[in-house]
Structure 1
């Protein structure tokens, strides 16, 4: 099995947390993307609204997919974690996710949680996708 770590230079360095932004299994052509959040390269939240954080996390997801040799069209599954009751955030989050996903319609699981990586973090998006061939 051949596994490659993906860590785009434009995103925060996950090594202090013992993580990579993604791992690619080149034998099965899958990329497993760590939860993407609205952090700058110093691991600080950039925006304070769920809408702005969703936009930033989605852009980070696309960055990792591209660096890992994949694309939004190859998404198989997303897990979207939001701080609080999921139903309270769906009207704000879904249009932004749809804007970035387009037509592929991957499987999606939405989960409301009590906390995320920092108290200011409102959303986290993780993914599994096929590698572009």
Structure 2
């Protein structure tokens, strides 16, 4: 198999949960990013509001993408899981995600869920992206 595991040391260690922060299919250049949350390296939430958790989950996503030689512009698909009824949080979360994504406009799905990684976790964000080549452009398939 041609799989590269990505685990930036500035994020929590996913190995106790059997996961990597991301994996890269080195044949296709696809990057599969695990759901990012507002955890520090000790698996503790940093914030209690959905807005602050969304900002930190997106910062963590950026860390993982960078470690995988990708960026926001290389995101193909983004999935946003929100605890509770999705429509109740759209006004607060959509502007944060829109600012983060800029002009990249990937395929995006929002999903309301009953629970996430820990009782206080309100949002989790996962992505599929493509690595960049040496010219900072997506690789050709």
TM-score normalized by the length of structure 1: 0.99
Cross-structure match for 2:131: 131
Cross-structure match for 2:94: 94
Cross-structure match for 2:19: 19
Using the TM superposition, give the Cα deviation of residue 99 of structure 1 relative to its aligned residue in structure 2, in angstroms. Answer: 1.2
Using the TM superposition, give the Cα deviation of residue 98 of structure 1 relative to its aligned residue in structure 2, in angstroms. Answer: 1.0
Cross-structure match for 1:55: 55
SS in 1 for 2:38: coil
Instruction: State yes or no: 1:42 paired with 2:39.
Output: no
SS in 1 for 2:89: helix
Regions of 4+ moved over 6 Å: none
How many residues in Structure 1 have an aligned counterpart in Structure 2?
133
**2:77 & 2:15 partners in 1: Cα distance?**
25
Cross-structure match for 2:118: 118
In structure 1, list runs of 5 or more residues that go unmatched: none
**2:45 & 2:79 partners in 1: Cα distance?**
20
In structure 2, list runs of 5 or more residues that go unmatched: 134-141
**1:90 & 1:6 partners in 2: Cα distance?**
30
SS in 2 for 1:97: helix
Structure 1 or 2, whichever has the larger Rg, is 2
Using the TM superposition, give the Cα deviation of residue 71 of structure 1 relative to its aligned residue in structure 2, in angstroms. Answer: 0.7
**2:15 & 2:68 partners in 1: Cα distance?**
17
